[in-house]
Amino acid sequence: DIDHLNLRVQKELVEWLNWLKADIGFDGWRFDFAKGYSADVAKIYIDRSEPSFAVAEIWTSLAYGGDGKPNLNQDQHRQELVNWVDKVGGKGPATTFDFTTKGILNVAVEGELWRLRGTDGKAPGMIGWWPAKAVTFVDNHDTGSTQHMWPFPSDRVMQGYAYILTHPGTPCIFYDHFFDWGLKEEIDRLVSVRTRHGIHSESKLQIIEADADLYLAEIDGKVIVKLGPRYDVGNLIPGGLKVAAHGNDYAVW
């Protein structure tokens, strides 16, 4: 175990981070198991190494109901993520992985897309509160891959990417999905839409519909994304828009 309160440990870790930056060329940090030490300590490492980007893994359990499914309201869960960023310094480079969005998406794509509109009408994850500081993802090396600890429904992974790659937040793509699952071209198309239309971490999200079989949202007045099996949505899509990407139970205009 590392004693992060030990001043010598802090000094040596800061020196190592700065060496990684200056000599090796790294410019960002991922804080693994950030619950294992205080945000105050993480702040020391960030302030004294000045990365251009930093992201923390703060993985806690969602609030679940008696049916074994997540509650609609996950405010306490995303508040913990927001609190960490606040303590480390909201004006700096610190962000956190949006585990709230991940957990809700896992269940929503299984015929419960109404979950993607929170009680305030906004996105229910961290991206609904502080999207500039939320790093969204579908799976990572812990949740998916060989560890398989909290995997996204495998037949609906592209719905997850259609969501995070069109929405606010900073999306990241899982190596396995991109290189091993044969999803590179589909993911690439969504990345192209995001890049072409300048969608960014603080883009404006307007949720048009959120029912069991349909989620429809507009981003920055430029892009519309649809998740779910409902086919007839023509009355909700403005005329003249062209489909830019589509796949199993998702489409982007």
Q: Which amino acids are annotated catalytic?
A: 32, 57
Torsion of CA 92, 93, 96, 102, to 10 degrees: 120
CA 62 and chain centroid, separation:
15
- Residue whose pair of structure tokens reads 């008696």 in the numeric block: 66
Quick check: 139 and 174 in contact, CB under 8 A?
A: yes
Residue 99: phi and psi, rounded to 5, are -65, -25
Contacts 24+ apart (CB under 8 A), 68-77: 69/107, 69/112, 70/103, 70/104, 70/107, 70/115, 72/115, 72/118, 72/119, 72/124, 73/118, 73/119, 74/100, 74/103, 74/104, 74/124, 74/125, 77/103
Residue 191: phi and psi, rounded to 5, are -60, -40
